Amino acid sequence: MNESPCYIKSLPLPEKIQQFYIDSGIKQLYPPQGEVVQKGLLEGKNTLAAIPTASGKTLLAELAMLKHIIDGGKALYIVPLIALANEKYQRFKEFEKFGILTGISTGELESKSEGLGKNDIVVCTSEKTDSMLRNGTQWLQTLSIVVVDEVHLLDEKSRGPTLEIVMTKLRKIPNLQIVALSATIGNTQVLADWLKAELTVSDWRPTKLQEGVVFGKSMNFLSEDPVIQKEIVHDTKEPAADVALDTIKEGGQCLVFESSRRTCMAFAKRFSNPKNREHKQINILLSQDEKNKLAEISEEIEYSSDTTESNNLAECIRNGVAFHHAGLNAAQRRLVEDGFKENKIKVISCTPTLAAGLNLPARRVVIRSFLRYDANEGNIPIPVLDYKQMVGRAGRPHLDPYGQSLLIAKSSDKIDFLETKYIHAKAEDISSKLGSEKALRSHILAIISSGIATSQKGVIDFLSETFYAHTSDLSYFIETINECLYFLEENDLIVTDNNYLQATPLGQLVSRIYIDPLTAVVIVEDLKKASQSNMEITAFSLLQVICKTPDIRTLYLKGNEYFENLIYADDHKNEIINFPDLDEISEISAESFIESIKNARILLDWIEECETKEIVENYVIGEGDLHSLSESASWISHAVQRISKLKGFDIQNIFLEQRLKYGASKELVSLLSIKNIGRKRARKLYDNGIGSVDKIKSTPFSEVSKLFGNKITIKIFHELELPIPSDEIDTSPEVPENNKKEINQQKNLFDF
Ligand SMILES: Nc1ncnc2c1ncn2[C@@H]1O[C@H](COP(=O)(O)OP(=O)(O)OP(=O)(O)O)[C@@H](O)[C@H]1O
């Protein structure tokens, strides 16, 4: 391979684009980037780049996409997470100055999103891409390049199969170039063979990474030859805290990875307790200016919510350490991430979700425990791939001379173990997770519904092109495919006529609205039963059906919640459509029934306008949990409505979809259609006799502004195209306090 440097100036791109990169400090490509270009990235060749975090994968994608667009093509950039989609979208929007348009879509799983096609680059999650493919979105067929970010996530049980199917479908577009970006994994060559791609594997990084183990008062960087040892000056009796303090002292930032939410918050709390040594020492290390900046973030966190967890987070940040996990609401997560990016927050105690993609580099990364809890297997060691993703966050390009990562050894004999198990270990092979019936049934229905396959052979032929088929035994696969076809036919989702397969109207709907066929089966069964009986269907009845479906990631039962919810279920027997005989069913089924009761109760409280603080504290859940539960329930309630209509069930519309989205009662639904009105403002309007959009239209500006102040009222009047008295414009008093909280609340809800 040619080792000579590859300059931006030498790339086949217009001068103004070359200059854009040079002005941003990128004059020449990093060696692995150069290798990828040399192997044909800009000549349209399929490419698999398996190179470490922060070594410039995004730049490769940009160069390839720009080349296509200059030549009249169109690009799709697929990401695994919404947060990552936003990050990439913001970046690609910088190309607007060259007349290159970027669009983003992460939600609305039933829409064709034809409007997105006007863009040159579209950033989407794999689920959104799959839904557009199912709905026959035309512009997808005009793509000339697809970039798949974090392609190693093919290995992930919940989302990998969708990514795999999306890639298999997209590969059928003629002359499409696929650029797949991956972390370093074991079987890159196998993946490259599947993609018919040129492969570049490298462990080169722009900033060197020293990987080590802490034992006692000593940091031992074992990846170095000779091994580098460094004594830790601080002494809090907590090695991870000592390393964090040492990092701050050196002017750096530190990420501390914990294995659970509980330990993640506990670590941050120890730092924030004025009685503890950690806090005393961090207090000395931070300057007054730094403390002021932390206090500002802390105030914003307090503003974003009034839950105890939010107050705890605010308190921790005020005292120098943040925590970050999926239970936080979206505004809080963003405040912590931005605070860290801006170098205001020096230490984040986090769960591994933070390592999954977002560009949050730190001088040091500490992994406090290499164990992770698994519901089936108990505490198990994390995979090397996850370890590499976490430690890969260490070292900020252009800012740090090197990055350092540290595992904690609790005893001296663990040092060798950790060295072999992680530091010198190669990441595992990835494997397809498409082989299960759960993963396959939804995609098989979609293939049939969209006409990709019209026979069993057609289904098998299509699936023979997947990564699963490329790497596994087909006979077992075919058996599972046949079981799925049987399931779909049994449940009226497909029909077979002389070997000709066709989706029924129900099957077509299920595929388009993007739900698991089993979800549809549960809904149909329960709605049928309900419509045949005389029972009164309440919001709780439908919420319980929704919470039984496999598309809802329910919140688990804790402690003695089983019995408490069993009693509740018994008291509300009349409202439950399908009350199983708990003595006759398995323990697991009984538990999941009771779990559906708990989750339905949470959602009922939400749509009955209980305060968020009250809900999260009563059920001991995070705000983020509540929002993702209500978001997914809102999506399934849409499915309930559509299926009910299609099948002609006589179920009264109780507006669950909108109510779940905003957490509001039925009488507020019409007000919630206005952009700046959420649950609290709608309630205020309603209680003041302004209970509908028409009523707002007939209410004087001054009356509405008494409730919300001028600024918000102007926004509402603007949206409704109502005249605003000229003397009211911009003489506004500030928005009342709880309304500000509501703004954040709404933002969060749309953010998942
Ligand atoms: N050839 C280069 N010369 C100088 N800086 C570069 C070069 N390539 C990329 N960078 C810079 O390095 C940083 C990391 O690059 P980038 O975000 O593309 O990495 P990545 O591999 O996509 O990271 P991650 O896996 O974390 O998403 C960015 O600030 C980028 O501008």
pLDDT at 743: 37
CA of 316 to the centre of ligand 1 (A): 31
Same domain for 656 and 565, yes or no, is: yes
Nearest atom in ligand 1 to the alpha carbon of residue 53 is 25
CA of 387 to the centre of ligand 1 (A): 20
| 456 is a domain residue | yes
pLDDT at 109: 60
Query: What does the pLDDT average to over 512-533?
Result: 95
Strand order in the sheet with 102-105: 102-105, 121-125, 75-79, 145-148, 177-182, 47-50, 198-201
Same domain for 246 and 153, yes or no, is: no
pLDDT at 2: 57
Q: Which of 48, 359, 360, 391 to mutate to test the pocket of ligand 1 (most atoms within 8 A of CB)?
A: 359
Contact indicator for 18, 7 with CB cutoff of 8 Å: no
38 is in an annotated binding site: no
CA of 252 to the centre of ligand 1 (A): 20
CATH of the domain at 166: 3.40.50.300
CA of 370 to the centre of ligand 1 (A): 28
Residue with tokens 């999306």: 166
**Atom 1 (ligand 1) nearest CA:** 29
**Atom 10 (ligand 1) nearest CA:** 56
Query: What band does 228 get if pLDDT is binned at 50, 70 and 90?
Result: very high
- Give the range of the structural domain holding residue 13, as residue numbers without chain letter: 8-201
| 590 is a domain residue | yes
Closest CA to 7 of 27, 31, 23: 27
Q: Which regions of 94-137 does DSSP assign to beta strands (E)?
A: 102-105, 121-125
Query: What band does 274 get if pLDDT is binned at 50, 70 and 90?
Result: confident
Would the pLDDT of 735 be above 70? Answer: no
pLDDT tens digits for 648-660? 997 777 789 999 9
| 431 is a domain residue | no
Nearest atom in ligand 1 to the alpha carbon of residue 60 is 18
Question: How far apart, in whole angstroms, are the C-alpha atoms of residue 314 and residue 302?
Answer: 6
Question: How far apart, in whole angstroms, are the C-alpha atoms of residue 31 and residue 204?
Answer: 8
| 3 is a domain residue | no
Same domain for 130 and 173, yes or no, is: yes
Would the pLDDT of 483 be above 80? Answer: yes
Same domain for 463 and 414, yes or no, is: no
**Atom 15 (ligand 1) nearest CA:** 56
Nearest atom in ligand 1 to the alpha carbon of residue 392 is 26
CA of 330 to the centre of ligand 1 (A): 25
CA of 55 to the centre of ligand 1 (A): 5
Last residue of a domain, which of 663, 695, 722?
663
| 67 is a domain residue | yes
**Atom 23 (ligand 1) nearest CA:** 54
Nearest atom in ligand 1 to the alpha carbon of residue 361 is 26
| 429 is a domain residue | no
Same domain for 163 and 244, yes or no, is: no
Same domain for 127 and 17, yes or no, is: yes
pLDDT at 740: 41
Same domain for 81 and 219, yes or no, is: no
pLDDT at 737: 39
Residue with tokens 């999941």: 592
Percent of the chain with pLDDT over 70: 95
| 647 is a domain residue | yes
Same domain for 684 and 698, yes or no, is: yes
DSSP for 17-55 reads: HHHHHHHTT--B--HHHHHHHHTTGGGT--EEEE--TTS
Question: How far apart, in whole angstroms, are the C-alpha atoms of residue 177 and residue 44?
Answer: 6
Question: How far apart, in whole angstroms, are the C-alpha atoms of residue 606 and residue 152?
Answer: 37
Q: Indicate the average pLDDT of the chain.
A: 90
- Do the strands 121-125 and 47-50 form a parallel or antiparallel pair, or are they unpaired? unpaired
Question: How far apart, in whole angstroms, are the C-alpha atoms of residue 705 and residue 711?
Answer: 8
Would the pLDDT of 603 be above 70? Answer: yes
Closest CA to 455 of 482, 429, 431: 482
Same domain for 469 and 593, yes or no, is: no
Closest CA to 304 of 743, 751, 653: 743
Exposure string (b/e) for 511-525, b if CB count within 10 Å is 16 or more?
A: bbbbbbbbbbbbbbe
Distances (CA, A) of 666 to 658, 670, 681: 9, 9, 15
List residues bridging with 230 in a β-sheet: 219
Would the pLDDT of 636 be above 60? Answer: yes
Q: Say if residue 742 is exposed, middle or buried (CB neighbours under 10 Å; 0-12, 13-18, 19+).
A: buried
Query: What does the pLDDT average to over 587-615?
Result: 95
3-state helix, strand, coil in the chain (%, to 5): 55, 10, 35
Question: How far apart, in whole angstroms, are the C-alpha atoms of residue 221 and residue 229?
Answer: 6
DSSP for 607-642 reads: HTT--HHHHHHHTT--HHHHHHHHHHHHHHHHHHHH
Same domain for 692 and 750, yes or no, is: yes
Same domain for 243 and 371, yes or no, is: yes
Closest CA to 126 of 69, 81, 86, 188: 81
Ligand 1 proximal residues by C-beta, below 6 Å: 25-26, 29-30, 33, 53-59, 359, 397
Contact indicator for 393, 362 with CB cutoff of 8 Å: yes
Nearest atom in ligand 1 to the alpha carbon of residue 393 is 26
Last residue of a domain, which of 494, 512, 530?
512
Q: Which of 20, 53, 55, 148 to mutate to test the pocket of ligand 1 (most atoms within 8 A of CB)?
A: 55
pLDDT at 12: 96
Closest CA to 632 of 124, 111, 107: 107
List residues bridging with 321 in a β-sheet: 347
Nearest atom in ligand 1 to the alpha carbon of residue 150 is 25
Last residue of a domain, which of 133, 168, 201?
201
For residue 728, what are its two tokens? 């009211």
Same domain for 521 and 620, yes or no, is: yes
CA of 54 to the centre of ligand 1 (A): 5
Would the pLDDT of 312 be above 50? Answer: yes
pLDDT tens digits for 359-381? 787 999 999 989 888 777 888 99
CA of 675 to the centre of ligand 1 (A): 37
How many CB atoms lie under 10 A from the CB of residue 212?
26
CATH of the domain at 493: 1.10.10.10
**Atom 5 (ligand 1) nearest CA:** 26
Query: What band does 111 get if pLDDT is binned at 50, 70 and 90?
Result: low
Q: Say if residue 586 is exposed, middle or buried (CB neighbours under 10 Å; 0-12, 13-18, 19+).
A: exposed
| 1 is a domain residue | no
ipTM score here?
0.97
Nearest atom in ligand 1 to the alpha carbon of residue 357 is 27
Closest CA to 131 of 140, 118, 119: 140
Query: What band does 110 get if pLDDT is binned at 50, 70 and 90?
Result: low
When divided into structural domains, the chain yields a total of: 5
CA of 196 to the centre of ligand 1 (A): 25
Distances (CA, A) of 566 to 560, 593, 696: 10, 9, 44
For residue 200, what are its two tokens? 């570049």
Contact indicator for 76, 166 with CB cutoff of 8 Å: no
Measure the CA dihedral 737/740/746/751, to 10°.
-130
Query: What does the pLDDT average to over 343-350?
Result: 95
